[in-house]
Amino acid sequence: MKELFMHSDAVKKGAERAAHRSLLRAAGLKDADFAKPFIGIANAYNNIVPGHLTLNKITAAVKEEISQAGGVPLEFGVIGVCDGIAMGHEGMKYSLGSRELIADSIETMGRAHCLDALVLIPNCDKITPGMIMGACRLNLPTIVISGGPMLTGQHNGRPLDLNSVFEAIGQFSQGLIDEQEFHAIECQACPGAGSCAGMFTANSMNCLCEALGLALPGNGTIPAVYPERLELARQAGRQIVALTKQDLKIRDILRKEAFDNALAVDMALGCSTNSALHLPAIAYEAGVEITLRLINEVSAKVAHLCNLAPGGPDHLEDLDRAGGIMAVMHELDKKNILARGLPTVSGHTIGENYQNASVKNQAVIAPIDKPHHAQGGLAALFGNIARDGAIVKQAAVAPEMLRHSGPARVFDSEDAAYQAIRGGQIRKGDVVVIRYEGPKGGPGMREMLLPTSAIAGMGLDKDVALITDGRFSGATRGASIGHISPEAMAGGEIALLQDGDLIEIDIPRQTINAKVSPAEMEKRRQAWQPPEPKIKTGYLARYAKLVTSANLGAVVR
């Protein structure tokens, strides 16, 4: 093999780098290490986020294998926000924005220390896409090894997850369950370490890493507490050294066809609507364009195969036992949907990764010719209140709500809407409108799990729709339409809606419109003034000035 080019030579070769080597020796490096590649390990461990509790064990396994394979593991920390803990208060404004901080920190650490390759060790929500975005800027050999999903909780013989608790809040407030039942659900829903057990945002992104080719098979579904998770980490540690020697960079893997594959798997799984933010954002950093209309094109030809929570009864451990993401891809391949010949971090093509996979439980992974739904899990909607599009997780919408027409109940914040819902002010047939919660207006585009869970918990999810320029947790179910673009703060038509306006939603036809004439809309626009920013100092004030629309992935340019 020809001599390996190493970025790290810039800090370790030549007499003029003696001071650099001296500092590295202080960190534990020896003479022999200066001939080896420097492998950066981005570890998002903290003991606040349940999904991150095991990441130090993952990191230790990765580091050991890197050392044995001939690399130098260099670990650094990465922040991570728990969306569940941040939910429903000012903290949620920081969740999406943390993705950009993470991307910036990965870029900064990689460039400042001349790293030769990266192992990304995330688990929850924004950490996975943020790490990948930063890695795309560096364009180094990169592998993702996540912490893995949480096991489901159990109560009275039924499975529970975090969403069960949020919905129980609505049930308790309506007297549908007593305090003892409410407390039992709270205590039993999240039994230990791992990302929340349904096909929520964290698990969606960790599964899609397999489809993109950035992670080894099993990354998205092997539970956090299983010993197989540590073995996968050891494999990742060995493989990153091999990728470094091959000089297979992240952008070599993240081609347009890889995103097409990921979107197909997204539709088959019924992933979180947040994937419609994160995949375009990752693609942007990789030099690839993904639009909301592309999501509809893929959804039209890819059936929904997995009925996973929150839309169905199954969880990630069930998907893992049924064969995992490779089994889903093997099933999709029967219709020649996927690009087979793309490179992956395994050293094999994506087609080689899934060619020997098989579906072990057709109740969890439906046959391609007998899907749960003929179309994919997500749909983008367009209309006179969403000129640039909106997103709905159509796989989690009750059939009777796929088409809905009702009067608008307009609120200028999530908090105001939630209080109205909890106060019994929302009636069957209403369309709850929550605005000024977009990337700029929030700022930070809060998730609306509290109001959507309250609606579901009160038994109104088959009667009430909710639309917003904010976004939804992957745990959201019902006719919840988010990412409305342009957002209200940017002068989007959602800012012009008034109580009583008739809102018409037609998910099968991919439309969302207000029955308001163009002349009336223009009259309202002339009278509209943007409100004062909610946050005027600190990081979010800067973020609000630079962030783009949700339909563009809410990236900062």
**Nearest CA-CA partner of 447 in 465, 434, 429:** 434
Phi and psi angles of residue 448, each rounded to the nearest 5 degrees, phi first: -110, 40
**Nearest CA-CA partner of 377 in 207, 552, 550:** 207
Tokens of 107: 């870029």
d(CA 492, CA 109): 38
Tokens of 180: 């003892």
Tokens of 124: 């929850």
d(CA 174, CA 391): 30
What is the DSSP track for 177-232? S-HHHHHHHHHHS--SSSB-SSS-HHHHHHHHHHHHTSB-TTTTTS-TTSHHHHHH
3-state secondary structure of 306: coil
Edge-to-edge strands, sheet with 142-144: 72-77, 38-43, 117-121, 142-144
Angle at 227 between CA 225 and CA 228, to 5 degrees: 110
**Nearest CA-CA partner of 150 in 102, 235, 239, 84:** 84
- Of 105, 272, 299, 473, the catalytic one is 473
Has 473 been annotated as catalytic?
yes
125 is in an annotated binding site: yes
**Nearest CA-CA partner of 220 in 242, 192, 199, 241:** 199
Task: Supply the DSSP symbol for 482.
Answer: E
Tokens of 263: 């979107």
Q: Are strands 386-392 and 379-383 parallel, antiparallel or unpaired?
A: antiparallel
| Dihedral angle of Cα 125, 131, 136, 141, to the nearest 10 degrees | -120
447 is in an annotated binding site: yes
Which residues are 547's β-sheet partners?
556
Is residue 542 within a helix (H) or strand (E), and if so which, with residue range?
helix 538-546
**Nearest CA-CA partner of 118 in 129, 127, 102, 106:** 106
126 is in an annotated binding site: yes
d(CA 40, CA 77): 10
Using CA atoms, how far residue 48 sits from 83, 145, 156, 162, 414, in Å, is 11, 20, 28, 16, 25
Give catalytic residue positions: 473
Annotated binding site for Mg(2+): 83, 125-126, 447
Annotated binding site: 83, 125-126, 447
